[in-house]
């Protein structure tokens, strides 16, 4: 399997992502934002976390104009699988590839810690290795992770099983760290080919570092 990982000025999680997927047995390639094509043998395209363009204007707002994003949209239109992590999620919402938007955290503070997530829907390639209702412990690190969508959009997300993950405590009860609507931590598109989440599964690959719950999250892509 080939995983291509986008790199913008300010991206800082591309090598964590590279390590995570190589640990699972995938081949990886980092793709600079000035590229005009996605490698032909790409099985999964990852928009990695960080601070693309320094998060000027809004997180992900400038990255959506990078040359590579036209190729990303074409790749998505052909049914290619895309995963946006943290800033990558922000980029995908700004580019219109995922519904909703990411706002400043309700506390106005940057959050960096492990946080539990509850699996809301696993009828997709991303979370197929987990069961609905499972609770995982995954790091978060964001200033603009407050997911927003209007009432009509939220109803549509639920109708199509597009809500993937919600913030919770260790027992699965809702625990919202940033003010996100309905404590939503991750969503997908209607076709279940484009996925986005604020937490960092690529940083949860080793028990020594606090959790290896990210392994099952990312394995689904390799076994599709």
pLDDT digits (tens, 9 = 90+) for 181-213: 999 999 999 999 999 999 999 999 999 989 999
- Mean pLDDT on 114-142: 97
Rg, the chain, Cα only: 16
- Spell out the CATH class of 2-222: alpha beta
Please compute, for residue 218, the number of CA atoms within 13 A of its CA located in the half-sphere on the CB side. Answer: 31
Q: Would you call 120 a catalytic residue per the annotation?
A: no
**What pTM was estimated for this model as a whole?**
0.97
Q: Would you call 202 a catalytic residue per the annotation?
A: yes
Q: Is the pLDDT of residue 76 over 90?
A: yes
Pick the catalytic residue from 86, 116, 120, 142: 86
CA angle 187/191/197 to nearest 5° reads: 20
Q: What is the pLDDT of residues 3-56, one digit of tens each?
A: 999 999 999 999 999 999 999 999 999 999 999 999 999 999 999 999 999 998
Q: Would you call 168 a catalytic residue per the annotation?
A: no
Domain ranges of the chain: 2-222
């Amino acid at each position: 399997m080939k995983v291509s990982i986008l790199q913008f000025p300010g991206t800082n999680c591309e090598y964590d992502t590279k390590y995570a997927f190589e640990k699972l047995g995938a081949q990886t390639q980092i793709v600079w934002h000035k590229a005009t094509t996605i490698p032909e043998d790409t099985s999964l395209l990852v928009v990695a976390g960080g601070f693309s363009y320094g998060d000027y204007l809004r997180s992900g707002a400038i990255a959506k104009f990078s040359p590579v994003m036209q190729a990303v949209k074409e790749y998505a239109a052909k049914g290619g699988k895309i995963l946006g992590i943290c800033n990558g999620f922000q980029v995908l919402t700004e580019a219109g590839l995922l519904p909703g938007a990411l706002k400043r955290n309700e506390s106005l503070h940057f959050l960096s810690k492990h946080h539990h997530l509850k699996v809301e829907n696993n009828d997709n390639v991303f979370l197929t290795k987990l069961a609905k209702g499972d609770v995982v412990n995954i790091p978060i690190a964001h200033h603009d992770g407050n997911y927003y969508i209007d009432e009509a959009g939220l109803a549509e997300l639920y109708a199509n099983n597009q809500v993937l993950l919600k913030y919770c405590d260790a027992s699965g009860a809702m625990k919202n760290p940033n003010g996100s609507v309905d404590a939503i931590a991750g969503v997908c598109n209607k076709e279940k080919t484009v996925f986005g989440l604020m937490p960092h599964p690529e940083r949860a690959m080793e028990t020594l570092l606090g959790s290896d719950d990210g392994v099952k999250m990312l394995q689904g892509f390799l076994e599709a």
